[in-house]
């Protein structure tokens, strides 16, 4: 079968099971776009900005567990993917990005729209390729997908010169498994490691499980729940670990870290054993490393060996697939109880409930926490939510308890504003039968709001809730706490979001009172197209608790109880 390089790209994508790709055409990738006309089995989604393509591929990957695909031309098309690639890298999301490049003979000549995209993305990809020979193209694509999805998942970029796309050869698909020298993703723990972990678990009086994104990606929720229930161990979740175990389970304490539940952070600091599963001890989780859980022994299971002992020194470090390792631990795990420890955590939780803004009389003000919690209530807590980054993101994490894995999608490591809307589009296209809500702030939404056109052109049904406080809310909060209320460059002049939506043909509604939130959910569900809800929330609300950057995890700024002054 004689195929051009461009046709080989499409043929290999088809054989990798790709059903959808997100992209924007241009000169250097045009041969591949022309080849798409011969492969109608693969749907192409035309974005309005290449950053949107990378985020859509990422949202699709997180929602489905499959590899997401983004495609762009050379030069600015390729560089526009960079933020989305970095987002996927930090959160271990499997995407493959395909970029066009100037012809081989022009590389290095500063040709029109030439850029060294492999050099640019080297630090933020799991691997990348510049294809110099069309005969290598099929092997490269197969390797790229294998690397993206195995071990610790991540983004892979393939840069293909235009003349390689045009060159024709006899195509033969590379059959058999991919074998890469030196690339051996770990899977199992040794018997000695399992026994050492069991010994620590059985000896502990105040254990706590730290469940991260790895549980979600490995499909290890059932094993996690069995571990927690049999040994009666409380569970703390990372931001990306939300939904790894139902957050309404009595053993789930909540989210840990900078804006985590106070009870969760106190429990980590007082624990005598941390069981860290599929999480990487990042700074937003630990606070000051010198005072982090000082009296605990530590077990750490992660697919990436480089994460073991990187930030936090541990007693038992296991590089392996967390589902496989838990399956090894469970047969030897004894039934246990920790009533005093769990009782102490309950006391901390009760103190937290007394400080919860939902229990305050807030008068006529509409607060972000109220909007999020009411969304949770009126969606039955069963929607896929995709957030941007900022106060609304933390409020979603606090006030929308998730019951299933892969139903809370957000940019964790890179903290990318503009992620929410395009990632929600990708998630909905990956899981069309799910109710998807993009929960965004007025700042981040405006970074990628051009993708409203993509949603309409592609007939994607996404519900958008903009929490509009006319501020860059989280930055304003930092300025209030740490910069003596000098609000530089944080007040926002915003468009009329309802009229903006209507310009795209999108039904829209403005919410100004809490009583309207239920109506807004009904309004969103009554349309088969994308719907935009603008929630005009309190301008100067604060997300509590908050651990100041670099502070001790237990040294939180907390919402005062009624009658208390801020400490």
Catalytic residue ranges: 50, 112-113, 162, 474
Q: How many CB atoms lie within 10 A of CB 304?
A: 17
DSSP 28: G
- Alpha-carbon distance of 317 to 304, in angstroms, equals 11
- Alpha-carbon distance of 274 to 207, in angstroms, equals 6
CA neighbours closer than 13 Å in the CB half-sphere of residue 301? 31
CB-based contact 51:83 (threshold 8 Å): yes
Residue 83 neighbours by CB under 8 Å, 6+ apart: 51, 54, 414, 416, 418
- Alpha-carbon distance of 388 to 410, in angstroms, equals 6
Between the CA of residue 393 and those of 26, 158, 415, 476, 543, what are the distances in Å?
A: 35, 32, 10, 15, 10
β pairing state of 127-130 and 508-511:
unpaired
Q: Write the DSSP assignment of 105-129 as a string of letters.
A: GGTTTT-TT---HHHHHGGGSSEEE
Strand partners, 45: 22
- Alpha-carbon distance of 535 to 163, in angstroms, equals 51
What phi, psi does 535 have (nearest 5°)?
A: -100, 105
Strand order across the beta sheet in which 408-409 lies = 408-409, 384-387, 436-441, 463-468, 531-536, 508-511
- Alpha-carbon distance of 67 to 154, in angstroms, equals 9
């Amino acid at each position: 079968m004689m195929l051009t390089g461009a046709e080989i790209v499409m043929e290999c994508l088809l054989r990798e099971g790709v059903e959808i790709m997100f992209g924007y055409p241009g000169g250097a990738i045009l041969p591949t776009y022309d080849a798409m006309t011969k492969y109608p089995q693969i749907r192409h989604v035309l974005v309005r900005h290449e950053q949107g393509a990378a985020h859509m591929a990422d949202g699709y990957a997180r929602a489905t567990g499959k590899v997401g695909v983004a495609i762009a031309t050379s030069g600015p098309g390729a560089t526009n993917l960079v933020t989305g690639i970095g987002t996927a890298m930090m959160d271990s999301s499997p995407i493959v990005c395909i970029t066009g490049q100037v012809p081989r003979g022009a590389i290095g000549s500063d040709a029109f729209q030439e850029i060294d995209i492999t050099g640019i993305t080297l630090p933020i990809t799991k691997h990348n390729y510049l294809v110099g020979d069309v005969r290598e193209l099929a092997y490269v694509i197969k390797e790229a997908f294998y690397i993206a999805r195995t071990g610790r998942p991540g983004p892979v970029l393939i840069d293909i010169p235009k003349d390689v796309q045009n060159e024709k050869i006899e195509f033969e698909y590379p059959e058999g498994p991919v074998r890469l020298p030196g690339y051996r993703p770990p899977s199992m723990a040794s018997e000695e490691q399992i026994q050492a972990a069991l010994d620590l678990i059985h000896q502990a009086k105040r254990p706590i499980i730290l469940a991260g994104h790895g549980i979600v990606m490995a499909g290890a929720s059932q094993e996690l729940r069995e571990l927690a229930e049999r040994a009666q161990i409380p569970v703390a979740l990372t931001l990306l670990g939300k939904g790894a175990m139902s957050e309404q389970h009595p053993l789930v304490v909540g989210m840990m870290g900078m804006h985590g539940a106070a009870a969760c952070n106190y429990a980590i600091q007082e624990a005598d054993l941390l069981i860290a599963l599929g999480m990487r001890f990042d700074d937003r989780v630990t606070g000051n490393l010198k005072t982090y859980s000082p009296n605990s022994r530590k077990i750490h299971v992660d697919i990436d060996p480089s994460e073991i002992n990187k930030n936090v020194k541990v007693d038992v470090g296991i590089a392996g697939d967390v589902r496989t390792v838990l399956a090894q631990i469970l047969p030897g795990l004894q039934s246990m109880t920790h009533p005093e420890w769990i009782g102490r955590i309950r006391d901390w939780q009760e103190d937290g409930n007394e400080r919860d803004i939902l229990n305050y009389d807030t008068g006529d003000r509409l607060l972000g926490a109220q909007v999020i919690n009411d969304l949770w209530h009126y969606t039955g807590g069963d929607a896929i939510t995709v957030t941007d980054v900022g106060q609304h993101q933390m409020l979603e994490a606090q006030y929308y308890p998730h019951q299933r894995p892969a139903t809370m999608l957000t940019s964790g490591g890179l903290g990318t504003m503009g992620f929410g809307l395009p990632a929600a589009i990708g998630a909905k296209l990956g899981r069309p039968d799910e109710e998807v809500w993009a929960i965004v702030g007025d700042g981040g939404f405006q970074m990628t709001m051009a993708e409203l056109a993509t949603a309409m052109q592609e007939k994607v049904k996404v519900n958008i809730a903009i929490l509009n406080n006319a501020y860059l809310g989280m930055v304003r909060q930092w300025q209030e706490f740490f910069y003596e209320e000098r609000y530089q460059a944080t007040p926002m002049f915003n468009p009329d979001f309802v009229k903006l939506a209507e310009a795209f043909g999108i039904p829209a509604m403005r919410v100004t009172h809490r009583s309207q939130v239920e109506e807004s959910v009904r309004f969103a569900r009554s349309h088969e197209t994308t719907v935009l809800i603008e929630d005009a929330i309190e301008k100067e609300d604060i997300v509590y608790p908050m651990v100041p950057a670099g502070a001790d995890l237990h040294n939180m700024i907390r919402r005062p109880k009624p009658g208390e002054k801020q400490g």
